[in-house]
Structure 1
Amino acid sequence: MTSPVKTVQFQRRQTYKELRSYLGGDLDPNSVTAALAAAYVDERLLKSPDSPSTRRRKLSALGAFWEWMALRCYTPKGMNPWKGFRLGKNESERTKPKKRPYTMPELVALFSGNPTYPALREVMVLGLYTGARIDEICSLAQGDIRFEGGIAYMQIVKSKTNAGARTLAIAHLIPLAVLKKRHRRNGPATAQLFHELKGGGYDKKLSWHVGQAFRYHRNGRGLTGATDFHSLRRTLITRLESLGIDQVHIARYVGHSLPTLAFQVYSGGATEATQAATGRAIGYPHEVEKAVASFIKQ
């Protein structure tokens, strides 16, 4: 799991590097006047290809840096040239659709076509039937998988939250076949389950290139805007709710934190038996199952 602190540090370094490039090198921070800051915002920040939220984050980082320098007497207190700007949301951001689960017809469309990126089909299938996040799936190691009594137990070690660390029980035949195909009993426990995946992005996540390939495939199926890979997780949760699965069992299965003190402090967590019961309940309508089965066999 990538530390949020490291992510913020990287983003801020990039922001300072971009400002330094605009200024032509190192300058005394006191030479960055309000007029110079305004020119940077108008000429560089607002004209960048960044999203409005990224522009606001960068402006906030610059303001915070100047506040830090003022506290250490590098610049006069109260003289922050990055304060007072308003970078509002543009029309596309205001109308951006809220992310949601896939509908059943959309799943049929998504699990069709012929994506060629290595392991993408298998990662998609595991996302649909386990609700695991894309990085949780791509980070799986051989030692994270074991089989017992016709069920695969998949240990999620790398997750974005503490509640996300869990062991999933997978009983459905389609994802079970994916794991059996990928698992190497005699291989090193630390070896990647999806050996062909390579890290990408600034934090070298194994999911980086897979995520790009998924978006390309999704767009090609005409499913843009309101759905993404995480929508597979939303879809599973919605499906389990419609099947009448207890909310606590759903939360344990997908790795959501439970809000009450009893669950946070006194509960020992989900047992493999309860996870197996949830795993056995997972299934989709016939047309979806048929599409997924055909998709994974191509």
Structure 2
Amino acid sequence: MPKANNLELQGGTYHVRMDIPKDVREAFGGRRILSLSLKTGSREEAMFRRLPILHAWKSQIKVIREGKLLGDGWQEDIVQTLEGLDAITQGQKRALVGETAPPLPDVDPTLKAKLMSSPRFMEAVRMLVGDHLKDGIGGKVQIQDELNRGLKDMLQKRLGTEYKLTVQQGQELETLVKDPASYKARSPITKARLASFRTYRLEHHVALKTINQQESKLLNLSEHLQTTGSKLDFDSVSAWLQGMKLSSKTKQQYLLAGNQFWQWSMQHEPQWRQTFKGHVNPFEKHTLPSLKGKAKLDAKRKAFTIEEVGTLYKAAKEQNLGALPDLILLGGYTGARIEELCQLRKEHLITVDGVTMFDIVDSKTVAGIRSVPVHPKLTALVDRLAKASKDGYLVPTDSNNKYGIRSDALSKAFGRLKTAMGFDRTRVFHSIRATFVTSLVRADVPDRLIRELAGHETGTVTFDTYSQGSSPKQKLAAIKKLPTLLNANRTQL
């Protein structure tokens, strides 16, 4: 049974769970419970992470309970059917005056037998033919027009009987039947389809922040398609990209979001597969302008010098910016990413072969999961942080946004600090990581060992697959080669 707040702790990790109501279990393959790992042992973080998942599940149940609804893109299906009827009617009219007409489509034998056995239908046909045949060619033309209207009326009534139409859908259907040409193409990237895409990705442990960011980009494209009345194809995507004053790198992220949505839809959405059968992926093979030479070098993120890291530390200390000065020192002597540092807990201080190390248990990459020795100049700082910790985390922060990111406020504080000190956009907290790597390179630390400490793959099967990596003592020896961050170590930690 689900616990309070739909959370359950399993092996130190929280899961969000929800009982599936009996009346909709069949739609879920007979399952009784929906469950998904939240990938966190923090109850506070789990409380945030469970909300969008519960919302998606409840929305899915609501749709199932509302009965047989018209699916996404029903308007285009109806318009295609109506245009097909009009084409048949026009063809039969041309045949009446001796022109060549395309053959009539095959009629469903079951439907034909049903109509032929209906006295009301046969009487209507008899009256229709009898009234107009006497008028020669003109009468036969009228027969075709009235058959056309009759079939459209039947289509409208059938949809109203078989589906639960909203008032808006009923009105829209009536308008389309009267004038199919009035239809303005709508975006196939609907909110319902995006909700299904979201549920799928949450179940496959895609980061919530990534899901939200890409969904925002897809909604932007959907709005463009609806506003312009464009179909989803290469040209419309190209026009959409050209209309945004963004960098090529950012536009590439928009294409990535579209590409992943397209691939998911082709695999999991039958209606999408049918609509776009034979179509090429509209998000591929776009050529975006790229920076070259000096312009590319100028835009690249740059490392701080050792002196600059020390200056930033001093400024953060003098301005009493909370945990920021400690965070700068930790970054300078570990090369860890800012969120990796903010996620460190007291239990992540481990001792292996006599060496005290930071155990980084979660990272943006597999190679990022690693152990980094505590530099001797960090010993006093780490001891102080561990003793002062009130929640188990080494770096105290009030920041804990909806994605469970603890470094958000500290990252912004660093951004304000470095800007006030005259550093441009090419210098960010991540630049301290570049300083760390550069310092190891200049200290002649082997490339393989630098990659292990920074959490990068070596790119070779020998080391990435078979090797257990360098020993704690080898790592500590490399860390000790880092230069002193000016006089920061002399300051009271």
Distance 2:239 2:262 in 1: 17
Q: Which amino acid aligns with 1:203?
A: Y
CA distance in 2, matches of 1:18, 1:227: 30
Paired AA for residue 194 in structure 1: V
Tell me by how many angstroms 1:210 deviates: 1.8
Most deviating of 260-269 and 56-65:
56-65
Aligned counterpart, 1:127: 331
Preserved contact between residue 172 and residue 283 of structure 1 (Cα < 8 Å) = no
Structure-2 change in CA distance of 1:23 and 1:108 (3 Å): same
Aligned in 2, Cα 1:274/1:20: closer, same or farther, shift over 3 Å?
same
1:113 match: secondary structure: helix
Task: Decide which of 148, 171, 181 is 2:384's aligned counterpart.
Answer: 181
Pick 1 or 2: higher relative contact order, CA cutoff 8 A, min separation 6: 1
Tell me the equivalent position of 2:130.
none
Determine whether 1:46 maps to 2:250: no
Matched, 1:191 2:392: yes
Task: Output the CA distance in 2 between the equivalents of 1:147 and 1:79.
Answer: 55
Call closer, same or farther: CA 1:246–1:79 in 2, change over 3 Å: closer
Match of 1:226 in 2: 426
Of residues 251, 258, 262, the one that matches 2:451 is 251
Q: What CA distance in whole angstroms lies between the structure 2 residues aligned with 1:165 and 1:243?
A: 24
Label 1:72 to 1:282 Cα distance change in 2 as closer, same or farther (>3 A).
same
Amino acid at match of 1:229: F
Q: Which of these residues, 282, 303, 306, is aligned with residue 104 of structure 1?
A: 306
Asked if 2 retains the 8 angstrom alpha-carbon contact of 1:139 and 1:192, the reply is yes
The equivalent residue for 1:113 is: 315
Distance 1:36 1:163 in 2: 39
Displacement of 1:289 in angstroms is 2.5
Change (3 A) 1:116 1:93: farther
For 1:162 and 1:35, the matched residues in 2 are separated by 38
TM-score where L is the length of structure 1: 0.74
The answer to whether 1:164 aligns with 2:360 is no
Deviations 1:109-139 (Å, cap 9, x if unpaired)? 3233244443111111000011111111111
- Give the structure 1 partner of residue 212 of structure 2: 10
Q: For residues 97 and 51 of structure 1, what CA distance do their matches in structure 2 show?
A: 11
Judged with a 3 Å threshold, the aligned counterparts in structure 2 of structure 1 residues 261 and 85 are, in CA distance, closer, same or farther, namely: closer
Moved more, 117-126 or 65-74: 65-74
Map 1:22-101 to 2 at 5 A: 45-46=243-244, 51-59=247-255, 61-62=257-258, 65=261, 68=265, 72-75=273-276, 77-78=278-279, 88=289, 96-101=298-303
The two structures, once aligned, show a CA RMSD in angstroms of 4.1
Gaps of 5+ in 2: 1-38, 41-203
SS in 1 for 2:365: coil
SS in 2 for 1:73: helix
Answer yes or no: is 1:289 the counterpart of 2:469.
no
Q: Do the aligned residues in 2 keep the contact of 1:150 with 1:171 (CA within 8 Å)?
A: no
Deviation at 1:90, TM superposition (A): 8.3
- Over residues 221-248 of structure 1, what are the superposed CA-to-partner deviations in whole Å (9 max), with x where a residue is unaligned? 1122332222212212222222233333
CA gap 1:104/1:24 in 2 versus in 1, 3 angstroms: same
Q: Is the radius of gyration larger for structure 1 or structure 2?
A: 2
2:438 corresponds, among 238, 249, 257, to 238
Against the structure 1 CA distance between its residues 293 and 36, is the aligned structure 2 distance closer, same or farther, given a 3 Å change threshold? Answer: same
Output the CA distance in 2 between the equivalents of 1:167 and 1:34.
Answer: 46
- Which structure 1 residue ranges, 5 or more long, are not aligned? none
Q: How many residues were matched structurally?
A: 283
* CA gap 1:55/1:180 in 2 versus in 1, 3 angstroms: same
Q: Equivalents in 1 of 2:368, 2:260: separation in Å?
A: 32
